[in-house]
Amino acid sequence: MKISATVHYEIRRNTWLLFAAQAMMSTGLSMASQLGSLIIYALTQSKSLAGLPMALHYVAIAAVAYPAGRFMDRRGRRPGLVLGYIIAGVGAAVVAAAVSGHVFAAYLIGLVVLSLGAGMGQLTRAAVADMYPVERRAGAVGLVVAGGLVGGITGPGLVALGDRIAPALGADPLAIPYAILVIALILAAATASRLRPDPREISQRLSEYFPATGAGEVSPAPASRATVGEIVGSRPAQAAMIALACAQAAMAMLMATSSLMMHLHGHSINAISLALMSHVLGMFGLSVPIGRLADRVGRTPVLIGGALLTASSGLVFTLGVESAVVSSVAFYLVGLGWSMTFVAGAALLGDLSGPATRARVMGINDLFTSMTAMTAALLGGVFLARGGETTVGVMAATLGSIPLLAILRAGRAMGPRPAVAAAAAVGDGK
């Protein structure tokens, strides 16, 4: 994972700080998706509520998405990220205490607070998109997304650690990872506070860092002039948002129910952690080359590939979670499909927006994506209770296929080089 030596020192430094902060925060998101259904089942003994933690997570992100984006467009990326990590740390502390005390209501409150902070913290992609021109943006987004690999591997490790040391401490093994997470989020806040200059400031004078070359403009002028409404109303933006929402929804449906399904099939917590690690590898392991690919061949082919992989993950899932191998393959494919969609989609939204609108555009996308994923997570529990894992897999495959229609609808506006052509489409009002 290298950044070109031609990139200015301030941008390289900020990029690696965002990478580190992303790694720390993703630890919490990894554990939330892995432990949520187990905690709910331990507190309520209900299968139908398996998707509730994931659903609350997405509701909270949806609630904070646009306000967080507006705050960061006005005040800068650094204060928004720091505030988000602090809020998430408070939520993690409440979750740890609630699980230890077996207080269901307190657990839900803590989870919501943790997710509100995570919703602000995940706007790191707006910050990194600020600092790079079109022809390098997806690669930079992919690098910061790769920070999730560190946290994604750490998360299952903390779960396994909690399971091992809980008897000696006389503590609940499901609570210990969240106690450790508090420390990680404090470190993430301290890391984000060191962003200098603020990425938004870099975006406002990007041409000073990347003088225009024969490859084209540093930042497409139409995108910088468009309003939030014009950007969101363009077909390329809508295709990106639909692709991101469907990939997230399919992943939420599978992951909100997967740990419970594996548990009911007799797999141990450690076995579940190892199987889910393949999902983490899919999400983050190839994000850097995926970003470079999106910069080279365009956003559209990568978005199409992400949709196809997401759909195939659902079909593999229908083979059943009795086998840890089949589960691991399905988890890896849905993670890889999400990674391709997330990197290319975030880069495309970054291409379409300017420094004064970027965080709000991505906040609106998060609102739409979170509400879709929340619905999918809740339905996942219902489908599991009434139709089993086959129904869950078929519905995930259906969700994965929908973006292909949105990309087809966008047609020529996506262009052979969406990074430039789509921005021009916004400027032309298409």
From first to last of the 430 residues of the chain, give the pLDDT tens digit: 555 545 688 999 999 999 999 988 887 676 666 677 788 888 887 766 776 887 788 789 889 999 999 999 999 999 999 999 999 999 999 999 999 999 999 999 999 999 999 999 989 989 999 999 888 899 999 999 898 888 777 776 777 777 788 788 878 888 888 888 898 899 999 999 999 999 999 998 888 888 754 333 444 444 557 889 999 999 999 999 999 999 999 998 888 777 777 777 777 766 777 777 788 889 989 999 999 999 999 999 999 999 999 999 999 988 877 777 888 888 899 999 999 999 999 999 999 998 889 999 999 999 999 889 888 887 887 888 888 788 888 999 999 999 999 999 887 666 445 444 444 455 544 5
**Predicted pLDDT of residue 43:** 87
Closest C-alpha among 192, 191, 209, 189 to residue 9: 209
Are 251 and 243 a contacting pair, CB within 8 Å?
no
**Predicted pLDDT of residue 420:** 47
Residue type, 253: M
Helices (H) and strands (E) counted in the chain, each on its own, are 19, 0
Are 302 and 337 a contacting pair, CB within 8 Å?
no
Alpha helices in 235-357 (DSSP H): 235-264, 269-284, 287-297, 299-317, 324-352
Closest C-alpha among 338, 357, 347 to residue 419: 347
Please give the model's pTM, rounded to 2 decimal places: 0.81
Closest C-alpha among 364, 255, 238 to residue 303: 238
Supply the angle between the helices 134-145 and 287-297 in degrees, to the nearest 10: 170
Task: Give the number of other CB atoms < 10 A from CB of residue 139.
Answer: 25
The contacts found for 358-361 with CB under 8 angstroms, 24 or more apart, are: 358/73, 358/126, 358/129, 358/130, 358/203, 359/68, 359/69, 359/70, 359/72, 359/73, 359/77, 359/80, 359/123, 359/126, 360/66, 360/69, 360/70, 360/73, 360/228, 361/69, 361/228, 361/231, 361/232, 361/237
Rounded distance between C-alpha atoms, residue 58 and residue 101, angstroms = 25
**Predicted pLDDT of residue 221:** 42
**Predicted pLDDT of residue 334:** 94
Q: Does domain 9-206+216-427 have CATH number 1.20.1250.20?
A: yes
343 token code pair: 């990197």
SS3 210: coil
